[in-house]
Amino acid sequence: MNSYPIELLTQLAPVMFVAGLDLSTSPAVDSSDTPISPQPSPSHSQDPFLQLVQRLRDALVSQRKPAIWQPEKSKTFQAILVDKDVRFPPRKLLSPEDPGYASSHSPLSPLTPSSPLYPDGLIAPIWVRKHTTLIPSVFVLFKRLYEFQASPQHPRSPLDLVFSEKEREREQEERRWDSELAAEIALRKRFTHERGMKLTVVLLATRKILDEPSLDTRLTFIRRQSGLDSRAALFVLSPVSQAELGEFISSLQQALYDPAVEYYTSHSKRVRRKRNRHSQSASAYPNPPALASGGGPLRPLRPEGWTVRYEYKMACFAEFRGEDEVALKHYQDAYEALIIMFGSIIILSPRTKRWAEAKVLADCINIKITKLYLYNNEHALAVSHHTTHMRRFGDFSRGWGIGEETYEYWSWMARQHRVLAELIELGTNSHLNSTLVIPIHKPIISPSSTIGIQRVGSPGIEMELNAIRSLIINPNHLLQHPGFYYYMAARCTEMRRERFNAALLALEDNQYHPGTLNPASNSPGFANEKKVDHFVLILELYTKAYEHFKRHAEVHAQTTQTQTHQGRLPLYIAYRIAQTYQDSGKYDMAIRFFERMAKTYRKEQWRSLLVPLLSTWYACAERLGDVDLCVRLLVEMLGYGIDGSEFEDLEDVESRLMRTLKDNKPSSEDPIVLDHLESQPLFDTSLVFWKPEAEVHELVAFQLSLAAPRDRSIQSLPFSKLEIYTKEDDDAPFIIEHVEQSDAEGEGDLVRRVELGQVGKERTEDPIIKASLRWRKGGILILTGTMSSRIPTYLTLSLLKLYLSYDAWKIELPLKPCKSRQPSNALESLWLSCLYPVRFIPITREDYSSVNVKHRPHKVTVSVNHRQPAYLNENYPITIQVTNVDDAELDVVVEVLLLPSDLDYAVNTIAVDEEQSSGLLKGISLGVLAPGVSAIKTLYLRSTEAAGDRTLDISVQSRSTTSATGTSDSSVAYPVDTPQPELLDITETLRTVVVPTVEPLKMTCDVTYRRAIGAQIGLADLNAFEEDFWDDGDGGEATVVSTFQCSGPWGLAIESLVLKRQDVLQAKIMTSSINEIGKDVFPSEYLPGDNFGDICCISISSQGKNGQHIFQPVPVPGEYEVAWKRILSDSEYGEPTITTFVLPPLQPPIDGLVALLNPPTIANLHQPIAMSLTIRNRHPTRSANITVHLDSDPSDGFVVAGLRNGRVPVLLPGGEEKLTWKLIPVECGYVQLPKLRVVDRRKAIASAQGLGGPGTDVEIEGVPVKIVDVRTEQKVVSILSTTGSGGEVKKDAEDAAAVDPNRIADVLVLP
């Protein structure tokens, strides 16, 4: 951008002239000649006004610095400090009094002969300078307001007699000074007014004056007198702080901005008028007199030129006003008009002064337009304009004879790229007002957009077209960071240099052939170009580009916080820089760049980039005479398979390397180490192990192959030795020394095999062997050997080192043991099986180049014995037998884990010795077992609650006792403190045992209930309050028949069966068969399927301790305890075990109203018997109204004496009534009892009332009450109890088929 006039590029802003702020002479200087000096001459630094002036100067000037990139639109001025008597340049050449004034023009007009633009110049930078430095839009005048200084000896006082006199004197003095000031302002006002500028006066005054009441009148006086505007024309400022000063300046600018805009608007209007007049009549301007007088080839400015001139001026004025859009429009118009002018040779003939000026103007307008677009972040438009500009002028250049084949063309192109780069750099510079954001092109390809493109043809889908529009981009209009444009500038400069060199060459040719002299050779441009150091230019541009690319990469790395390898783009620029250095002969610089680049390319395997780089690098090294580097590069080139075609003399790399070695001496004694393990190796190396796994101390066979390249020879390379390193011995490698061999010994073969023997730390032989280290084209050397390790590890080779020796040269060539040049052309993972003929076996496993060495597993047998199934509650023995069948002593530890059972309620424990656990038993030591010795541990499993499978994991860990001592010996190999588990010599043997568990016994219970027959105890019976009173009147009696069955597969020896009574309130066991006779039964042995049982009788009371009724179910009054042992095979018994079975809960029937009939079962003929009927009202709340009917029938076998039909007194709840009949049997045999009916009338009434309907003429006799024959009464509940207290299965209660509860049995009458 420096190559363009700065006036045409800077951002324009309204100009403000500031006068009266002179430092040397205080603004109060006017009053210095008066006898009453206002300042009692203080020192300059302490004078508050001087300080104020200084601050004002600084603040105003720093409001705006002229800059190219200034997008923000704050209302600031370009302040210029001027003398207060400054004069503006004349508007026209003649004075206004001159009669020719109207037709004369500005001194800069092309129409004025003295103008530099005369006669056909477009616009000159000087015009812009005139408006930015010589003519302001507003004029600010700083003046000191006069201040009357009362003499300090006479302090003013209202009481003072001379007060009024003093006051008058003061007023007069003030008035005098103010008039003077006003006159001066008026003079200045006249000047500014005629140029349409705003004049503003700032009066500096002390703070004291501000408070005086007379200030207003004084100010009004001054304004009126001087003819200042009423608005924003007069300010008063006292010395204030910096912050307040800033506020003042911003408010001043705020107030003056509108007048400034007005000023420039009026200019614009004037220019537009002129342009309109001009465009209406092309010949509006008479030809200047110079032409009229026949001034030779001078031609006046064409109408197009005037358009350019006016549009440019209007654009500038709009820019002054800060109206960017308007400015852009006018600049574009000016630019278009310029293009038209360039289009015609007649209008602008090439290579003239005006043409060059116009070209500069066009470039500058282009920059302005681009910049204005960028202000708005309209990237595409900006870049598009710039590229169009370059294309258009590129096209024009061809017409002008400075096409692509000339250096001028490329010089110009480079400048354009550079200008854009600099502009974007300014825009994005973080220190300046960076408003420009470089966009990222991010595509959004949604399914809807693909639909859109199919419908492009159909009209009216405006929305979708818009969507498509957002998906298309012209890559040419992409705004990128400045590095790209610097790069382009550098490329263009390279082209420029190339073309210039061609021109220079052509010139030299012409010198030999005089007569065909190229006219261009003598042009000043060519002479200029000769002075240019192109390389410096190119390097400068590339360096700038490099910086930008690098910064961009760094910024990106920071924002995303990724450690990805960035910087490939900078690397590319570095490549160009290196090339430029090489071209310019600075080989040392080039080499430095090459070194850095090669690192990345090696690492990322970009052979295609590395190969040319190596060649160029080598060329540089050769030029520099760096023999060591040459050798290094040649060896690396050999690895990459570069043939001699890259060199000028086509000498191949191998012989070149040999020649270099022969002709030169190394720079130092030290061997040259070519440590590019990342670069492509000279040999395809491959390490293959036959086995994937091995045991400690086992010899593992491996094959290491070194394959020479197939496409070029390395036969002459003098390899002297090969060192093979393993992981553990870096200091003592296995060495293969070269020995010359005759062809007969096999060097002629393509594949050669050399036996190494054992390699590594464990080897026993001398680690040096001799073999031929020469390779034919494509030759393969296969080294076979064995390795072993005494500790568990991954066994592999770590490094190979190949040495080249030639005279004094010692070159060390490290190789990875397994690396191929190309991904697909190696014999990796092939195992040489036969040499004559050559045969390979592919090893198809992933990590063929290493062996996993492990400890040999110990030979331990573990047997687990138990007799399944186990019984519940039993201490079930499981024996674990561990036998050491290894040949070394082993320390054996057992762990047992009882897996959680998925059975509900199951609580299980395992126990060994004294230890017991419900989960894991750890560290059960079996001690050190000598070879052949076995140890037995018995584990007890106790399962409760539920039958089912229990699972145990048994882990037997054997640790070799020798390895434990070995560990402490070789503390280098593994530190004792932190032994890695995989390194310890431990073998773990696992067993999983599933123990099915079943119940030993099953209990089945049958329960029968009977009602109590005895009379109920009276309410007032005192016995009821006795401690041991037992009232079974409501409960009755239950008979429980329990049957035990041996359900398991093993026989049981039952030690005892005991019914244990439990103290519950509502039930008590009356009798139990087992307690009476069971003592003789047990112990005895039972086989599977055998049964035994017990019958017990339980009396149930419905009353609790305090007499209150407790309802169902009745708690269990006792439990059976069965003590048993399992019968083992040979009359042995298992552990004694006790299983308990809980009696079932009792649920006696609950009655409401019941009638119990109790006749005798047997009677003798003609002997009277008594039959009683007990009616009980068990209903808790209701009374009962009972009638009893005995229906005698002639066929009855009885003669009945007693109540036939009768009403029983009302039975209250809990009440009972007993009726008795005498019967005399008159027949023998089973005689039916007379029919009895018991009817509850109360219920009948209730039901009749409940029905209430008119049609209920059913007999309202009542509801019959159930009559129970107590002789046959029973209620059976059969309960199957599976375990002692486990889940119960309740069968359906009443077994209806067995006994009809309503049946009344007959009486057997005997004769």
Partner 1 sequence: MAPGLRLNAVAFISPQNEPTLIRTFSKQDESAIKYHYIAHTSLDVIDERVAANSKLSECYLGLLYAMEDVAVYGYITPSKVKIVIALALSDSVVRDIEVNMIFKALHMAYYAAISNPFLALRASTDFVHDSPRSYSLLAGSQKWKNFRRRVDEISRDLGNPMTTNQDR
Where does this chain touch partner 1 (CB under 8 A) — which range of 58-66, 838-846, 963-971, 1147-1155?
838-846
Identify the CA nearest to 576 among candidates 480, 637, 487. Answer: 487
Contacting partner 1 (CB under 8 A), which of 293, 458, 516, 844?
844
Site for partner 1 contains 475 (CB under 8 A): yes
Site for partner 1 contains 501 (CB under 8 A): no
Identify the CA nearest to 751 among candidates 820, 690, 705. Answer: 705
Site for partner 1 contains 972 (CB under 8 A): no
Contacting partner 1 (CB under 8 A), which of 23, 150, 471, 835?
471
Which residues, 373 to 402, sit near partner 1 by CB under 8 A? 387-388, 391
Site for partner 1 contains 841 (CB under 8 A): no
Which residues, 86 to 115, sit near partner 1 by CB under 8 A? none
Give 466 or 1091: the residue with its C-beta nearer to partner 1: 466
Identify the CA nearest to 221 among candidates 145, 168, 161. Answer: 145
Contacting partner 1 (CB under 8 A), which of 209, 318, 609, 1173?
609
CB of 823 to partner 1, least distance (A): 5
Site for partner 1 contains 450 (CB under 8 A): yes
Distance CA 974, CA 971 (A): 5
Distance CA 605, CA 616 (A): 18
Distance CA 169, CA 36 (A): 13
CB of 605 to partner 1, least distance (A): 4
Residue type, 759: V
Residues 804 and 810: beta-carbon distance below 8 Å: yes
Identify the CA nearest to 17 among candidates 79, 66, 59, 62. Answer: 79
Residues 824 and 833: beta-carbon distance below 8 Å: no
To the nearest 10 degrees (0 to 180), the angle between helices 242-280 and 303-321 is 160
Site for partner 1 contains 976 (CB under 8 A): no
CB of 97 to partner 1, least distance (A): 58
Identify the CA nearest to 393 among candidates 362, 356, 420, 365. Answer: 362
Site for partner 1 contains 473 (CB under 8 A): yes
DSSP line for 754-800:
EEEEEESTT--S-SEEEE-----TT-EEEEEEEE--SSSEEE-EEEE
Residues 1237 and 1204: beta-carbon distance below 8 Å: no
Distance CA 578, CA 587 (A): 8
Which strands, in side-by-side order, build the sheet including 1162-1164?
Answer: 1162-1164, 1307-1310, 1229-1231
Site for partner 1 contains 822 (CB under 8 A): yes
DSSP line for 1199-1265:
EEES-SEEEPPPBPTT-EEEEEEEEEE-S-EEEPPPEEEEEEHHHHHHHHHHH--TT--S-TT-EEP
What are the residues whose beta carbons fall under 8 Å from the beta carbon of 327, sequence distance 6 or more? 315, 316, 318, 319, 368, 372
Give 111 or 724: the residue with its C-beta nearer to partner 1: 724
CB of 406 to partner 1, least distance (A): 20
CB of 842 to partner 1, least distance (A): 6
CB of 266 to partner 1, least distance (A): 42
SS3 383: helix
Contacting partner 1 (CB under 8 A), which of 161, 463, 472, 1019?
472
Looking up tokens 């009916």, which residue turns up? 1237
SS3 1003: strand
CB of 566 to partner 1, least distance (A): 6
CB of 848 to partner 1, least distance (A): 8
**What CA–CA distances, in Å, run from 969 to 728, 891, 981?**
17, 19, 18
Site for partner 1 contains 824 (CB under 8 A): yes
* Residue 234: CA count within 13 A, CB half-sphere: 23
Contacting partner 1 (CB under 8 A), which of 101, 163, 606, 905?
606
Site for partner 1 contains 447 (CB under 8 A): no
Give 296 or 475: the residue with its C-beta nearer to partner 1: 475
Give 491 or 499: the residue with its C-beta nearer to partner 1: 491
Where does this chain touch partner 1 (CB under 8 A) — which range of 343-351, 474-482, 744-752, 1170-1178?
474-482
Site for partner 1 contains 466 (CB under 8 A): no
Contacting partner 1 (CB under 8 A), which of 276, 605, 970, 1084?
605
Give 106 or 388: the residue with its C-beta nearer to partner 1: 388
CB of 525 to partner 1, least distance (A): 26
Distance CA 500, CA 525 (A): 11
Which residues, 554 to 583, sit near partner 1 by CB under 8 A? 556, 560, 562, 564-569, 571-572, 575
Site for partner 1 contains 445 (CB under 8 A): yes
Residues 748 and 777: beta-carbon distance below 8 Å: no
CB of 367 to partner 1, least distance (A): 20
Which residues, 850 to 869, sit near partner 1 by CB under 8 A? 850
CB of 542 to partner 1, least distance (A): 14
CB of 826 to partner 1, least distance (A): 8
SS3 294: coil
Site for partner 1 contains 441 (CB under 8 A): yes
Site for partner 1 contains 911 (CB under 8 A): no
Give 157 or 564: the residue with its C-beta nearer to partner 1: 564
What are the residues whose beta carbons fall under 8 Å from the beta carbon of 165, sequence distance 6 or more? none
Query: Per-residue x/- mask for partner 1, residues 767 to 806, rule CB under 8 A?
Result: ----------------------------------------
Distance CA 1142, CA 1060 (A): 9
CB of 396 to partner 1, least distance (A): 17
Q: How many residues bind partner 1 (CB under 8 A)?
A: 64
DSSP 8-class letter at 1047: -
Where does this chain touch partner 1 (CB under 8 A) — which range of 168-176, 481-489, 853-861, 1259-1267?
481-489
DSSP run (H or E) holding 557: helix 534-560
CB of 488 to partner 1, least distance (A): 7
Distance CA 1279, CA 1289 (A): 6
Structure token pair of residue 720 = 């002297």
Contacting partner 1 (CB under 8 A), which of 63, 849, 989, 1283?
849
Site for partner 1 contains 823 (CB under 8 A): yes
Give 409 or 1092: the residue with its C-beta nearer to partner 1: 409
CB of 610 to partner 1, least distance (A): 10
Give 302 or 496: the residue with its C-beta nearer to partner 1: 496
Structure token pair of residue 1033 = 């009147």
Give 489 or 539: the residue with its C-beta nearer to partner 1: 489
Distance CA 221, CA 185 (A): 12
CB of 445 to partner 1, least distance (A): 6
Distance CA 1099, CA 841 (A): 93
List beta partners, residue 927: 892
CB of 344 to partner 1, least distance (A): 24
In sign, the C-alpha dihedral spanning 547, 550, 553, 556 is negative
Site for partner 1 contains 453 (CB under 8 A): yes
CB of 849 to partner 1, least distance (A): 7
Site for partner 1 contains 468 (CB under 8 A): yes
Q: Give the binding site for partner 1 (CB under 8 A).
A: 387-388, 391, 440-445, 449-450, 453, 468, 471-476, 478, 480, 484, 487-488, 491, 553, 556, 560, 562, 564-569, 571-572, 575, 601, 604-609, 612, 818-820, 822-826, 828-830, 842-844, 846-847, 849-850
